[in-house]
Amino acid sequence: MVTIKIKDGTPEGTETLCATCRWAHIVKGFRVSEKEIFCRYLTDDRPVRFPVSQCNSYDDRRIPSKRDMEQIAWILLTKKAGRTIGFVTAKRFLEIEGDNAEIIPAAAIDTTNTEE
């Protein structure tokens, strides 16, 4: 049997994309019919009145965001020749660099002016 796939055809399944979206606000009642979904992508909560199969604002909440990854980032030393390169803790970094060393969290770095 030959399977034919049609681009942008009828999606299989009825689970809405909002169920895993970071921007979704989902309110469920005790009955199956008691369910409201709101999109918080913009400032106002817009009601979503149908199951969503594609969305250009979709952000999967099961995957860490860029900000989350910046919060858990380690410091990588690559300064002096001859020193081994690797990850160190903040405490070890201060021991190596001295008391006047400054640790700037990755989330505090302004990345708005970078060109992509």
What is the 3-class SS of 75-110, one letter each residue? EEECCCCCCCCEEECHHHHHHHHCCCCCCCCHHHCC
User: So where are the chain's domains?
Assistant: 13-63, 66-108
Measure the CA–CA gap between 40 and 24, rounded to whole angstroms. 6
Torsions phi, psi of 9, nearest 5?
-85, -165
Question: Does pTM top 0.85 for this prediction?
Answer: no
Between 54 and 10, where is the model more confident?
Answer: 54
pLDDT digits (tens, 9 = 90+) for 4-51: 777 766 666 678 899 999 999 999 999 988 999 999 998 788 899 998
State residue 7's pLDDT score: 73
